[in-house]
Structure 1
Protein backbone atom coordinates (compact mmCIF):
# COMPACT_ATOMS: atom_id res chain seq x y z
CA UNK A 1 0.00 0.00 0.00
CA UNK A 2 1.33 3.41 -1.01
CA UNK A 3 1.95 6.23 1.42
CA UNK A 4 -0.91 8.13 -0.21
CA UNK A 5 -3.30 5.16 0.24
CA UNK A 6 -2.25 4.82 3.87
CA UNK A 7 -2.86 8.52 4.41
CA UNK A 8 -6.29 8.31 2.79
CA UNK A 9 -7.30 5.27 4.88
CA UNK A 10 -6.12 6.94 8.10
CA UNK A 11 -8.08 10.12 7.38
CA UNK A 12 -11.45 8.97 8.81
CA UNK A 13 -9.73 7.76 11.99
CA UNK A 14 -7.90 11.07 12.35
CA UNK A 15 -11.11 13.01 11.93
CA UNK A 16 -12.86 10.84 14.53
CA UNK A 17 -10.01 11.26 16.99
CA UNK A 18 -9.97 15.01 16.46
CA UNK A 19 -13.73 15.18 17.10
CA UNK A 20 -13.39 13.16 20.31
CA UNK A 21 -10.60 15.38 21.58
CA UNK A 22 -12.61 18.50 20.72
CA UNK A 23 -15.69 17.13 22.50
CA UNK A 24 -13.70 16.17 25.59
CA UNK A 25 -12.16 19.61 25.72
CA UNK A 26 -15.54 21.30 25.30
CA UNK A 27 -17.42 19.19 27.86
CA UNK A 28 -16.01 20.78 31.03
CA UNK A 29 -16.72 24.23 29.62
CA UNK A 30 -20.28 23.25 28.76
CA UNK A 31 -20.81 21.82 32.22
CA UNK A 32 -19.67 25.07 33.77
CA UNK A 33 -21.53 27.43 31.43
CA UNK A 34 -24.79 27.62 33.44
CA UNK A 35 -26.36 30.14 33.53
CA UNK A 36 -26.28 31.49 29.99
CA UNK A 37 -29.49 33.52 30.18
CA UNK A 38 -31.61 35.41 32.75
CA UNK A 39 -32.98 33.56 35.79
CA UNK A 40 -36.45 34.17 37.17
CA UNK A 41 -37.18 33.90 40.90
CA UNK A 42 -40.91 33.53 41.46
CA UNK A 43 -42.19 34.93 44.76
CA UNK A 44 -45.74 33.64 45.42
CA UNK A 45 -46.64 36.74 47.44
CA UNK A 46 -47.08 40.47 46.89
CA UNK A 47 -44.09 42.87 46.85
CA UNK A 48 -42.62 44.30 50.07
CA UNK A 49 -43.29 41.24 52.25
CA UNK A 50 -40.53 39.24 53.93
CA UNK A 51 -40.27 36.71 51.10
CA UNK A 52 -39.98 39.49 48.54
CA UNK A 53 -37.27 41.28 50.53
CA UNK A 54 -35.14 38.13 50.78
CA UNK A 55 -35.71 37.36 47.08
CA UNK A 56 -34.53 40.79 45.94
CA UNK A 57 -31.52 40.67 48.22
CA UNK A 58 -30.57 37.28 46.80
CA UNK A 59 -31.35 38.23 43.20
CA UNK A 60 -29.01 41.22 43.29
CA UNK A 61 -26.09 39.16 44.58
CA UNK A 62 -26.73 36.25 42.19
CA UNK A 63 -26.87 38.65 39.24
CA UNK A 64 -23.52 40.14 40.25
CA UNK A 65 -22.00 36.68 40.64
CA UNK A 66 -23.42 35.04 37.51
CA UNK A 67 -23.15 38.05 35.22
CA UNK A 68 -26.75 37.38 34.18
CA UNK A 69 -29.98 39.17 35.04
CA UNK A 70 -31.86 37.57 37.94
CA UNK A 71 -35.42 38.87 37.99
CA UNK A 72 -37.94 38.67 40.85
CA UNK A 73 -41.43 37.84 39.61
CA UNK A 74 -44.22 38.39 42.18
CA UNK A 75 -47.13 36.04 41.47
CA UNK A 76 -49.44 36.31 44.47
CA UNK A 77 -52.82 34.68 44.92
CA UNK A 78 -54.60 31.98 46.91
CA UNK A 79 -52.17 32.18 49.81
CA UNK A 80 -49.15 31.49 47.64
CA UNK A 81 -50.65 28.62 45.64
CA UNK A 82 -50.82 30.53 42.32
CA UNK A 83 -47.12 31.38 42.13
CA UNK A 84 -46.05 28.03 43.52
CA UNK A 85 -48.02 26.09 40.92
CA UNK A 86 -46.55 28.26 38.17
CA UNK A 87 -43.07 27.01 38.99
CA UNK A 88 -44.12 23.35 38.75
CA UNK A 89 -44.97 23.89 35.06
CA UNK A 90 -41.67 25.61 34.20
CA UNK A 91 -38.84 23.78 32.39
CA UNK A 92 -36.52 21.90 34.75
CA UNK A 93 -33.44 23.74 33.52
CA UNK A 94 -32.59 25.97 36.48
CA UNK A 95 -33.89 29.19 34.96
CA UNK A 96 -37.12 29.35 36.98
CA UNK A 97 -36.91 29.16 40.76
CA UNK A 98 -39.34 29.50 43.65
CA UNK A 99 -38.42 31.47 46.75
CA UNK A 100 -40.93 30.41 49.36
CA UNK A 101 -41.52 30.46 53.09
CA UNK A 102 -42.76 28.29 55.95
CA UNK A 103 -46.25 28.63 54.47
CA UNK A 104 -45.15 26.12 51.82
CA UNK A 105 -45.45 23.34 54.41
CA UNK A 106 -48.29 24.83 56.48
CA UNK A 107 -50.83 25.32 53.67
CA UNK A 108 -51.09 21.64 52.64
CA UNK A 109 -50.99 20.53 56.28
CA UNK A 110 -54.04 22.71 56.96
CA UNK A 111 -56.02 20.62 54.52
CA UNK A 112 -56.00 23.17 51.71
CA UNK A 113 -56.09 21.38 48.35
CA UNK A 114 -53.12 22.33 46.19
CA UNK A 115 -52.54 21.38 42.53
CA UNK A 116 -49.04 20.20 43.42
CA UNK A 117 -47.19 18.11 45.98
CA UNK A 118 -45.06 20.43 48.16
CA UNK A 119 -42.13 18.00 48.10
CA UNK A 120 -42.39 15.66 45.10
CA UNK A 121 -43.08 18.38 42.54
CA UNK A 122 -39.96 20.34 43.43
CA UNK A 123 -36.19 20.03 43.56
CA UNK A 124 -34.88 21.58 46.78
CA UNK A 125 -31.90 23.92 46.39
CA UNK A 126 -31.33 25.23 49.91
CA UNK A 127 -33.01 26.40 53.09
CA UNK A 128 -31.77 30.00 53.16
CA UNK A 129 -32.61 31.48 56.54
CA UNK A 130 -34.48 30.83 59.77
CA UNK A 131 -35.99 33.41 62.10
CA UNK A 132 -37.72 32.48 65.37
CA UNK A 133 -40.70 34.21 66.92
CA UNK A 134 -40.92 35.87 70.30
CA UNK A 135 -43.75 34.78 72.58
CA UNK A 136 -45.03 38.01 74.15
CA UNK A 137 -47.92 39.03 76.37
CA UNK A 138 -49.54 42.36 77.15
CA UNK A 139 -47.88 44.13 80.06
CA UNK A 140 -50.95 43.60 82.27
CA UNK A 141 -50.93 39.78 81.98
CA UNK A 142 -50.03 38.15 85.31
CA UNK A 143 -47.20 36.05 83.89
CA UNK A 144 -43.52 36.81 83.38
CA UNK A 145 -42.38 33.35 82.29
CA UNK A 146 -43.69 30.62 80.01
CA UNK A 147 -44.38 28.40 83.01
CA UNK A 148 -46.45 31.13 84.67
CA UNK A 149 -48.40 31.72 81.47
CA UNK A 150 -49.23 28.03 81.10
CA UNK A 151 -50.37 27.88 84.73
CA UNK A 152 -52.50 30.99 84.17
CA UNK A 153 -53.99 29.51 80.98
CA UNK A 154 -54.91 26.31 82.83
CA UNK A 155 -56.58 28.28 85.63
CA UNK A 156 -58.55 30.27 83.05
CA UNK A 157 -59.17 27.46 80.60
CA UNK A 158 -60.50 28.78 77.28
CA UNK A 159 -60.56 32.40 78.45
CA UNK A 160 -57.14 33.68 77.35
CA UNK A 161 -56.87 34.77 73.73
CA UNK A 162 -53.91 35.04 71.42
CA UNK A 163 -53.50 36.86 68.13
CA UNK A 164 -51.88 36.05 64.80
CA UNK A 165 -51.50 37.56 61.36
CA UNK A 166 -54.26 35.30 60.04
CA UNK A 167 -55.55 31.75 59.91
CA UNK A 168 -52.89 29.31 58.75
CA UNK A 169 -49.93 31.60 59.46
CA UNK A 170 -46.94 30.32 61.41
CA UNK A 171 -47.86 32.38 64.54
CA UNK A 172 -51.35 30.88 64.41
CA UNK A 173 -49.96 27.35 64.27
CA UNK A 174 -47.45 28.24 66.99
CA UNK A 175 -50.38 28.92 69.29
CA UNK A 176 -51.98 25.64 68.31
CA UNK A 177 -48.72 23.76 68.92
CA UNK A 178 -48.41 25.36 72.36
CA UNK A 179 -51.93 24.25 73.24
CA UNK A 180 -51.20 20.73 72.03
CA UNK A 181 -47.94 20.27 73.96
CA UNK A 182 -48.90 22.16 77.13
CA UNK A 183 -52.48 20.81 77.26
CA UNK A 184 -54.09 24.24 77.54
CA UNK A 185 -57.02 25.87 75.79
CA UNK A 186 -56.61 29.33 74.19
CA UNK A 187 -58.85 31.38 71.90
CA UNK A 188 -57.38 32.37 68.53
CA UNK A 189 -58.02 35.89 67.24
CA UNK A 190 -56.84 36.26 63.62
CA UNK A 191 -55.85 39.68 62.28
CA UNK A 192 -55.15 40.81 58.74
CA UNK A 193 -51.39 40.75 59.05
CA UNK A 194 -48.65 40.62 61.63
CA UNK A 195 -48.60 44.40 62.10
CA UNK A 196 -52.22 44.68 63.25
CA UNK A 197 -51.73 41.62 65.46
CA UNK A 198 -48.80 43.30 67.21
CA UNK A 199 -50.92 46.40 67.74
CA UNK A 200 -53.56 44.11 69.23
CA UNK A 201 -51.26 42.76 71.93
CA UNK A 202 -49.71 46.19 72.61
CA UNK A 203 -53.16 47.69 73.25
CA UNK A 204 -54.36 44.68 75.22
CA UNK A 205 -56.98 43.62 72.68
CA UNK A 206 -55.35 40.19 72.81
CA UNK A 207 -53.26 38.82 75.64
CA UNK A 208 -50.59 36.79 73.83
CA UNK A 209 -48.85 36.74 70.48
CA UNK A 210 -46.01 35.04 68.64
CA UNK A 211 -44.31 37.86 66.76
CA UNK A 212 -41.11 38.54 64.80
CA UNK A 213 -38.01 39.84 66.56
CA UNK A 214 -37.37 43.07 64.60
CA UNK A 215 -40.83 44.52 65.18
CA UNK A 216 -41.36 43.17 68.69
CA UNK A 217 -38.11 43.95 70.51
CA UNK A 218 -38.70 47.75 70.44
CA UNK A 219 -42.18 47.25 71.96
CA UNK A 220 -40.69 45.13 74.73
CA UNK A 221 -37.94 47.67 75.38
CA UNK A 222 -40.63 50.34 75.70
CA UNK A 223 -42.42 48.20 78.30
CA UNK A 224 -45.54 47.71 76.19
CA UNK A 225 -45.23 43.92 76.06
CA UNK A 226 -43.41 41.27 78.07
CA UNK A 227 -41.24 38.68 76.34
CA UNK A 228 -41.73 35.20 77.77
CA UNK A 229 -39.77 33.02 75.38
CA UNK A 230 -38.45 32.39 71.89
CA UNK A 231 -39.75 29.74 69.48
CA UNK A 232 -36.42 28.25 68.30
CA UNK A 233 -34.67 25.26 69.84
CA UNK A 234 -31.66 27.39 70.71
CA UNK A 235 -31.43 30.94 72.00
CA UNK A 236 -31.03 33.78 69.53
CA UNK A 237 -27.93 35.95 69.39
CA UNK A 238 -30.29 38.90 68.91
CA UNK A 239 -31.95 38.19 72.29
CA UNK A 240 -29.59 35.91 74.22
CA UNK A 241 -31.30 36.41 77.58
CA UNK A 242 -34.64 35.10 76.30
CA UNK A 243 -35.17 31.38 77.05
CA UNK A 244 -36.51 29.00 74.43
CA UNK A 245 -39.97 27.58 75.02
CA UNK A 246 -38.38 24.13 74.95
CA UNK A 247 -36.14 24.94 77.91
CA UNK A 248 -38.97 26.80 79.66
CA UNK A 249 -41.21 23.77 79.98
CA UNK A 250 -42.63 23.12 76.50
CA UNK A 251 -40.46 20.19 75.28
CA UNK A 252 -39.73 19.99 71.57
CA UNK A 253 -41.42 23.31 70.79
CA UNK A 254 -40.04 24.85 67.60
CA UNK A 255 -41.70 27.20 65.14
CA UNK A 256 -39.49 28.96 62.64
CA UNK A 257 -40.21 31.48 59.93
CA UNK A 258 -37.98 30.17 57.16
CA UNK A 259 -37.22 31.03 53.55
CA UNK A 260 -35.92 28.60 50.96
CA UNK A 261 -35.29 28.13 47.25
CA UNK A 262 -36.91 25.36 45.22
CA UNK A 263 -36.80 24.49 41.52
CA UNK A 264 -39.15 22.37 39.40
CA UNK A 265 -38.91 18.61 39.89
CA UNK A 266 -36.09 16.89 38.00
CA UNK A 267 -34.07 20.08 37.54
CA UNK A 268 -30.65 19.18 36.15
CA UNK A 269 -27.97 18.29 38.69
CA UNK A 270 -25.59 20.73 37.03
CA UNK A 271 -27.93 23.66 37.68
CA UNK A 272 -28.79 22.51 41.21
CA UNK A 273 -25.13 22.24 42.19
CA UNK A 274 -24.21 25.62 40.71
CA UNK A 275 -27.21 27.33 42.31
CA UNK A 276 -26.68 25.74 45.72
CA UNK A 277 -22.96 26.50 45.90
CA UNK A 278 -23.41 30.08 44.75
CA UNK A 279 -26.36 30.79 47.03
CA UNK A 280 -24.50 29.48 50.09
CA UNK A 281 -21.51 31.70 49.28
CA UNK A 282 -23.80 34.71 48.88
CA UNK A 283 -25.58 34.06 52.18
CA UNK A 284 -22.27 33.93 54.06
CA UNK A 285 -20.91 37.12 52.50
CA UNK A 286 -20.15 39.50 55.40
CA UNK A 287 -22.56 42.24 54.30
CA UNK A 288 -25.47 39.84 53.77
CA UNK A 289 -24.86 37.86 56.98
CA UNK A 290 -24.60 41.10 58.99
CA UNK A 291 -27.83 42.47 57.53
CA UNK A 292 -29.72 39.27 58.31
CA UNK A 293 -28.26 38.99 61.82
CA UNK A 294 -29.46 42.51 62.60
CA UNK A 295 -33.02 41.22 62.14
CA UNK A 296 -32.44 38.18 64.32
CA UNK A 297 -32.25 35.95 61.27
CA UNK A 298 -29.90 32.96 61.13
CA UNK A 299 -28.23 31.93 57.88
CA UNK A 300 -28.75 28.22 57.17
CA UNK A 301 -27.62 27.37 53.65
CA UNK A 302 -28.10 23.60 53.97
CA UNK A 303 -27.80 20.98 51.22
CA UNK A 304 -30.60 19.99 48.82
CA UNK A 305 -30.97 16.64 50.63
CA UNK A 306 -31.15 18.32 54.03
CA UNK A 307 -33.73 20.80 52.79
CA UNK A 308 -35.90 17.99 51.40
CA UNK A 309 -35.75 16.20 54.75
CA UNK A 310 -36.64 19.44 56.56
CA UNK A 311 -39.69 19.99 54.32
CA UNK A 312 -40.92 16.46 54.99
CA UNK A 313 -40.49 16.86 58.76
CA UNK A 314 -42.28 20.22 58.80
CA UNK A 315 -45.27 18.86 56.89
CA UNK A 316 -45.47 15.87 59.23
CA UNK A 317 -45.30 18.13 62.29
CA UNK A 318 -48.02 20.51 61.13
CA UNK A 319 -50.31 17.71 59.99
CA UNK A 320 -50.03 16.20 63.47
CA UNK A 321 -50.88 19.56 65.07
CA UNK A 322 -53.87 19.97 62.78
CA UNK A 323 -55.11 16.45 63.59
CA UNK A 324 -54.65 16.99 67.32
CA UNK A 325 -56.29 20.41 67.52
CA UNK A 326 -58.87 20.01 64.77
CA UNK A 327 -58.02 23.40 63.26
CA UNK A 328 -58.67 23.91 59.53
CA UNK A 329 -58.20 26.66 56.96
CA UNK A 330 -61.66 27.90 58.03
CA UNK A 331 -60.80 27.27 61.69
CA UNK A 332 -63.96 25.30 62.42
CA UNK A 333 -63.79 22.89 65.33
Structure 2
Protein backbone atom coordinates (compact mmCIF):
# COMPACT_ATOMS: atom_id res chain seq x y z
CA UNK A 1 0.00 0.00 0.00
CA UNK A 2 2.86 2.36 0.71
CA UNK A 3 4.05 1.65 -2.85
CA UNK A 4 0.49 2.13 -4.08
CA UNK A 5 0.42 5.55 -2.51
CA UNK A 6 3.47 6.35 -4.59
CA UNK A 7 1.59 5.36 -7.74
CA UNK A 8 2.55 1.71 -8.24
CA UNK A 9 -0.15 -0.95 -8.48
CA UNK A 10 -0.85 -4.11 -6.58
CA UNK A 11 -4.20 -5.77 -5.97
CA UNK A 12 -5.66 -5.33 -2.52
CA UNK A 13 -7.22 -8.38 -0.89
CA UNK A 14 -10.35 -7.66 1.08
CA UNK A 15 -11.51 -10.62 3.16
CA UNK A 16 -15.23 -10.73 3.83
CA UNK A 17 -16.33 -12.31 7.08
CA UNK A 18 -19.47 -10.22 7.45
CA UNK A 19 -23.12 -10.69 6.62
CA UNK A 20 -24.01 -11.52 2.99
CA UNK A 21 -25.52 -8.08 2.46
CA UNK A 22 -22.04 -6.72 1.66
CA UNK A 23 -22.40 -8.30 -1.77
CA UNK A 24 -24.82 -5.50 -2.61
CA UNK A 25 -22.66 -2.87 -0.90
CA UNK A 26 -19.44 -3.80 -2.71
CA UNK A 27 -20.32 -2.20 -6.07
CA UNK A 28 -21.09 1.03 -4.24
CA UNK A 29 -17.97 1.16 -2.06
CA UNK A 30 -15.43 -1.19 -3.60
CA UNK A 31 -15.55 0.06 -7.16
CA UNK A 32 -15.17 3.65 -6.01
CA UNK A 33 -12.22 2.69 -3.80
CA UNK A 34 -10.57 0.99 -6.76
CA UNK A 35 -10.78 4.24 -8.71
CA UNK A 36 -9.65 6.39 -5.77
CA UNK A 37 -6.63 4.22 -4.98
CA UNK A 38 -5.83 3.23 -8.54
CA UNK A 39 -5.87 -0.44 -7.63
CA UNK A 40 -8.03 -3.49 -8.14
CA UNK A 41 -9.58 -5.30 -5.20
CA UNK A 42 -9.61 -9.07 -4.92
CA UNK A 43 -12.53 -10.21 -2.77
CA UNK A 44 -12.12 -13.37 -0.69
CA UNK A 45 -15.35 -14.50 0.97
CA UNK A 46 -14.53 -16.41 4.18
CA UNK A 47 -17.54 -16.28 6.52
CA UNK A 48 -17.15 -19.80 7.97
CA UNK A 49 -16.83 -20.93 11.60
CA UNK A 50 -18.66 -17.89 12.87
CA UNK A 51 -16.28 -15.74 10.78
CA UNK A 52 -13.27 -16.87 12.83
CA UNK A 53 -11.39 -18.49 9.93
CA UNK A 54 -11.36 -15.40 7.75
CA UNK A 55 -10.70 -13.02 10.62
CA UNK A 56 -7.73 -15.08 11.78
CA UNK A 57 -6.34 -15.20 8.24
CA UNK A 58 -6.28 -11.41 8.11
CA UNK A 59 -4.79 -11.19 11.62
CA UNK A 60 -1.87 -13.30 10.38
CA UNK A 61 -1.40 -11.27 7.18
CA UNK A 62 1.43 -8.82 6.61
CA UNK A 63 0.54 -5.35 7.96
CA UNK A 64 1.25 -3.62 4.67
CA UNK A 65 -2.22 -2.35 3.84
CA UNK A 66 -2.78 -4.90 1.10
CA UNK A 67 -5.05 -7.18 3.15
CA UNK A 68 -8.11 -5.73 4.83
CA UNK A 69 -10.91 -7.22 6.91
CA UNK A 70 -14.50 -6.37 6.01
CA UNK A 71 -16.29 -7.15 9.23
CA UNK A 72 -19.45 -6.56 11.21
CA UNK A 73 -20.72 -6.69 14.78
CA UNK A 74 -20.34 -10.46 14.59
CA UNK A 75 -16.69 -9.79 15.44
CA UNK A 76 -17.50 -7.68 18.51
CA UNK A 77 -19.96 -10.31 19.76
CA UNK A 78 -17.36 -13.04 19.21
CA UNK A 79 -15.00 -11.34 21.66
CA UNK A 80 -17.13 -12.67 24.52
CA UNK A 81 -18.93 -15.52 22.77
CA UNK A 82 -15.83 -17.32 21.46
CA UNK A 83 -13.13 -17.05 24.10
CA UNK A 84 -10.89 -19.71 22.51
CA UNK A 85 -10.47 -18.06 19.12
CA UNK A 86 -6.82 -17.53 18.06
CA UNK A 87 -6.96 -13.72 17.90
CA UNK A 88 -8.28 -10.75 19.89
CA UNK A 89 -9.95 -8.05 17.85
CA UNK A 90 -8.50 -4.97 19.54
CA UNK A 91 -5.09 -6.59 20.07
CA UNK A 92 -4.46 -7.98 16.60
CA UNK A 93 -6.16 -5.38 14.40
CA UNK A 94 -6.28 -1.63 13.93
CA UNK A 95 -9.55 0.15 13.13
CA UNK A 96 -9.71 1.72 9.68
CA UNK A 97 -13.25 2.96 9.10
CA UNK A 98 -16.91 2.11 9.51
CA UNK A 99 -18.97 1.77 6.32
CA UNK A 100 -22.69 1.64 7.04
CA UNK A 101 -25.36 0.14 9.23
CA UNK A 102 -28.74 -1.46 8.56
CA UNK A 103 -31.68 -1.78 10.91
CA UNK A 104 -33.45 -4.97 11.85
CA UNK A 105 -37.19 -5.21 12.37
CA UNK A 106 -39.10 -7.18 14.99
CA UNK A 107 -41.93 -9.04 13.28
CA UNK A 108 -44.59 -11.37 14.65
CA UNK A 109 -46.83 -13.86 12.89
CA UNK A 110 -50.39 -12.54 12.39
CA UNK A 111 -51.70 -15.19 14.79
CA UNK A 112 -49.90 -13.52 17.70
CA UNK A 113 -52.65 -11.34 19.25
CA UNK A 114 -50.74 -8.06 19.44
CA UNK A 115 -50.58 -4.93 17.33
CA UNK A 116 -47.79 -3.04 19.09
CA UNK A 117 -44.53 -3.65 20.91
CA UNK A 118 -46.17 -2.65 24.19
CA UNK A 119 -48.85 -5.28 23.70
CA UNK A 120 -46.20 -7.90 22.88
CA UNK A 121 -44.30 -7.10 26.07
CA UNK A 122 -47.50 -7.32 28.11
CA UNK A 123 -48.39 -10.65 26.49
CA UNK A 124 -44.90 -12.05 27.08
CA UNK A 125 -44.99 -11.00 30.73
CA UNK A 126 -48.37 -12.69 31.18
CA UNK A 127 -47.07 -15.91 29.60
CA UNK A 128 -43.39 -16.27 30.60
CA UNK A 129 -41.59 -18.90 28.56
CA UNK A 130 -44.58 -19.51 26.27
CA UNK A 131 -43.69 -17.26 23.33
CA UNK A 132 -40.67 -17.95 21.14
CA UNK A 133 -38.47 -16.21 18.60
CA UNK A 134 -36.36 -17.54 15.74
CA UNK A 135 -32.83 -16.57 14.79
CA UNK A 136 -30.30 -17.58 12.17
CA UNK A 137 -28.17 -19.22 14.85
CA UNK A 138 -26.48 -18.71 18.23
CA UNK A 139 -24.42 -15.54 18.46
CA UNK A 140 -25.70 -14.02 15.22
CA UNK A 141 -26.88 -10.39 15.18
CA UNK A 142 -30.48 -11.62 15.02
CA UNK A 143 -29.99 -13.73 18.15
CA UNK A 144 -28.27 -10.93 20.01
CA UNK A 145 -31.04 -8.50 19.05
CA UNK A 146 -33.54 -10.87 20.62
CA UNK A 147 -31.53 -11.33 23.79
CA UNK A 148 -31.04 -7.57 24.13
CA UNK A 149 -34.81 -7.13 23.82
CA UNK A 150 -35.44 -9.76 26.49
CA UNK A 151 -32.95 -8.13 28.87
CA UNK A 152 -34.19 -4.58 28.36
CA UNK A 153 -37.91 -5.39 28.35
CA UNK A 154 -37.71 -7.94 31.17
CA UNK A 155 -39.46 -10.72 29.26
CA UNK A 156 -38.93 -14.48 29.03
CA UNK A 157 -39.16 -15.52 25.38
CA UNK A 158 -37.65 -18.81 24.19
CA UNK A 159 -34.90 -18.70 21.57
CA UNK A 160 -35.29 -21.11 18.63
CA UNK A 161 -31.98 -21.19 16.72
CA UNK A 162 -31.75 -22.21 13.07
CA UNK A 163 -28.83 -22.81 10.74
CA UNK A 164 -29.33 -19.69 8.69
CA UNK A 165 -32.04 -17.08 8.24
CA UNK A 166 -33.98 -18.72 5.42
CA UNK A 167 -35.57 -21.55 7.41
CA UNK A 168 -36.07 -19.32 10.43
CA UNK A 169 -37.94 -16.84 8.25
CA UNK A 170 -40.00 -19.61 6.63
CA UNK A 171 -41.15 -20.90 10.00
CA UNK A 172 -42.11 -17.44 11.24
CA UNK A 173 -44.07 -16.82 8.04
CA UNK A 174 -45.72 -20.22 8.49
CA UNK A 175 -46.60 -19.61 12.12
CA UNK A 176 -44.40 -22.38 13.54
CA UNK A 177 -42.49 -19.71 15.47
CA UNK A 178 -44.03 -16.55 16.92
CA UNK A 179 -41.52 -13.86 15.96
CA UNK A 180 -38.02 -12.91 14.91
CA UNK A 181 -35.66 -10.01 14.36
CA UNK A 182 -34.72 -9.88 10.68
CA UNK A 183 -33.28 -7.48 8.12
CA UNK A 184 -35.67 -4.64 7.33
CA UNK A 185 -35.24 -5.04 3.57
CA UNK A 186 -35.95 -8.77 3.76
CA UNK A 187 -39.13 -8.42 5.81
CA UNK A 188 -40.52 -5.19 4.35
CA UNK A 189 -42.63 -6.78 1.62
CA UNK A 190 -43.95 -9.46 3.97
CA UNK A 191 -44.98 -6.73 6.41
CA UNK A 192 -46.62 -4.62 3.71
CA UNK A 193 -48.67 -7.60 2.48
CA UNK A 194 -49.78 -8.64 5.96
CA UNK A 195 -47.82 -11.89 6.13
CA UNK A 196 -46.17 -10.61 9.31
CA UNK A 197 -46.80 -7.69 11.63
CA UNK A 198 -43.85 -5.29 11.93
CA UNK A 199 -43.82 -3.95 15.49
CA UNK A 200 -40.58 -1.95 15.67
CA UNK A 201 -37.26 -1.33 13.98
CA UNK A 202 -33.99 -1.47 15.88
CA UNK A 203 -32.07 1.71 15.02
CA UNK A 204 -31.99 5.08 16.74
CA UNK A 205 -34.11 6.57 13.96
CA UNK A 206 -36.84 5.14 11.77
CA UNK A 207 -35.88 3.05 8.76
CA UNK A 208 -36.16 4.54 5.29
CA UNK A 209 -37.64 1.22 4.17
CA UNK A 210 -40.41 1.08 6.82
CA UNK A 211 -40.84 4.74 7.83
CA UNK A 212 -44.25 4.17 9.42
CA UNK A 213 -42.91 1.57 11.84
CA UNK A 214 -41.66 3.02 15.15
CA UNK A 215 -38.23 2.35 16.57
CA UNK A 216 -37.90 0.11 19.60
CA UNK A 217 -37.22 3.21 21.70
CA UNK A 218 -40.32 4.97 20.40
CA UNK A 219 -42.40 1.85 20.97
CA UNK A 220 -41.45 1.51 24.63
CA UNK A 221 -37.95 0.03 25.08
CA UNK A 222 -35.99 3.23 25.68
CA UNK A 223 -32.37 3.17 24.55
CA UNK A 224 -32.66 -0.02 22.54
CA UNK A 225 -30.37 -0.27 19.52
CA UNK A 226 -29.25 -3.38 17.64
CA UNK A 227 -28.17 -2.84 14.05
CA UNK A 228 -25.93 -4.70 11.66
CA UNK A 229 -22.97 -2.46 10.90
CA UNK A 230 -20.10 -3.00 8.50
CA UNK A 231 -16.56 -1.78 8.96
CA UNK A 232 -12.98 -2.26 7.86
CA UNK A 233 -9.96 -3.20 9.97
CA UNK A 234 -6.35 -3.98 9.10
CA UNK A 235 -3.71 -6.19 10.73
CA UNK A 236 -1.96 -4.65 13.71
CA UNK A 237 1.16 -2.79 12.66
CA UNK A 238 -0.33 -1.37 9.48
CA UNK A 239 1.33 2.07 9.09
CA UNK A 240 -0.82 4.96 10.36
CA UNK A 241 -0.47 6.86 7.08
CA UNK A 242 -2.03 3.94 5.21
CA UNK A 243 -4.87 3.71 7.72
CA UNK A 244 -5.43 7.46 7.46
CA UNK A 245 -5.51 7.36 3.65
CA UNK A 246 -7.99 4.49 3.59
CA UNK A 247 -10.15 6.19 6.21
CA UNK A 248 -10.21 9.45 4.27
CA UNK A 249 -11.14 7.76 0.99
CA UNK A 250 -13.87 5.65 2.59
CA UNK A 251 -15.34 8.67 4.39
CA UNK A 252 -15.30 10.65 1.15
CA UNK A 253 -17.08 7.88 -0.74
CA UNK A 254 -19.77 7.10 1.84
CA UNK A 255 -20.43 10.83 2.20
CA UNK A 256 -21.44 11.21 -1.44
CA UNK A 257 -25.17 11.92 -1.91
CA UNK A 258 -25.53 9.25 -4.61
CA UNK A 259 -23.99 6.62 -2.34
CA UNK A 260 -26.24 7.57 0.56
CA UNK A 261 -29.28 7.57 -1.72
CA UNK A 262 -28.42 4.13 -3.11
CA UNK A 263 -27.94 2.68 0.35
CA UNK A 264 -31.14 4.31 1.62
CA UNK A 265 -33.07 2.21 -0.90
CA UNK A 266 -31.53 -0.85 0.76
CA UNK A 267 -32.22 0.40 4.29
CA UNK A 268 -28.54 1.16 4.94
CA UNK A 269 -27.16 4.35 6.49
CA UNK A 270 -23.61 5.57 5.87
CA UNK A 271 -21.25 5.86 8.85
CA UNK A 272 -18.21 8.12 9.12
CA UNK A 273 -15.64 8.14 11.94
CA UNK A 274 -11.90 8.63 12.11
CA UNK A 275 -9.86 5.57 13.15
CA UNK A 276 -9.75 6.58 16.83
CA UNK A 277 -13.50 7.17 16.93
CA UNK A 278 -14.12 3.84 15.23
CA UNK A 279 -11.86 2.16 17.78
CA UNK A 280 -13.93 3.60 20.64
CA UNK A 281 -17.10 2.50 18.87
CA UNK A 282 -15.73 -1.04 18.63
CA UNK A 283 -14.73 -1.11 22.29
CA UNK A 284 -18.18 0.10 23.34
CA UNK A 285 -19.81 -2.56 21.17
CA UNK A 286 -17.64 -5.29 22.69
CA UNK A 287 -18.68 -4.21 26.20
CA UNK A 288 -22.36 -3.97 25.24
CA UNK A 289 -22.57 -7.47 23.82
CA UNK A 290 -20.38 -9.01 26.51
CA UNK A 291 -23.10 -8.10 29.00
CA UNK A 292 -25.84 -9.63 26.84
CA UNK A 293 -23.85 -12.80 26.18
CA UNK A 294 -23.34 -13.19 29.93
CA UNK A 295 -26.98 -12.51 30.85
CA UNK A 296 -28.35 -14.80 28.14
CA UNK A 297 -25.85 -17.61 28.60
CA UNK A 298 -25.39 -17.69 24.82
CA UNK A 299 -22.94 -20.33 23.64
CA UNK A 300 -21.64 -21.68 20.35
CA UNK A 301 -19.72 -24.83 19.51
CA UNK A 302 -16.00 -24.14 19.13
RMSD: 2.0
Give the structure 1 partner of residue 273 of structure 2. Answer: 302
Query: How does the TM-score come out when normalised to structure 1?
Result: 0.85
Count of residue pairs the alignment pairs up: 300
Give the structure 2 partner of residue 101 of structure 1. Answer: 72
| Structure 2: distance between partners of 1:277 and 1:140 | 49
Structure-to-structure mapping, 1:150-189, within 5 angstroms: 150-189=121-160
Query: How does the TM-score come out when normalised to structure 2?
Result: 0.93
In structure 1, the gaps of 5 or more residues are 1-28
Match of 1:231 among 202, 206, 219: 202
Give the structure 1 partner of residue 282 of structure 2. Answer: 311
Q: Deviations over 1:163-189 (max 9, x none)?
A: 111111111111111111111111111
In structure 2, relative to structure 1, the CA distance for the partners of 1:229 and 1:90 (3 Å cut) is same
Match of 1:246 among 217, 229, 241: 217
| Structure 1: distance between partners of 2:133 and 2:274 | 36
Partner of 2:100: helix, strand, or coil? strand
In structure 2, the gaps of 5 or more residues are none
Offset at residue 237 of structure 1 (A): 2.7
Give the structure 1 partner of residue 109 of structure 2. Answer: 138
Asked if 1:88 corresponds to 2:67, the answer is: no
Match of 1:41 among 14, 19, 34: 14
Partner of 1:246: helix, strand, or coil? helix
Give the structure 1 partner of residue 291 of structure 2. Answer: 320
Offset at residue 257 of structure 1 (A): 0.4
Contact in 1 for aligned 2:3/2:9 (Cα 8 Å): no
Offset at residue 302 of structure 1 (A): 1.6
Contact in 2 for aligned 1:101/1:257 (Cα 8 Å): yes
Match of 1:61 among 24, 32, 37: 32
Match of 2:250 among 254, 274, 279: 279
Contact in 2 for aligned 1:127/1:261 (Cα 8 Å): yes
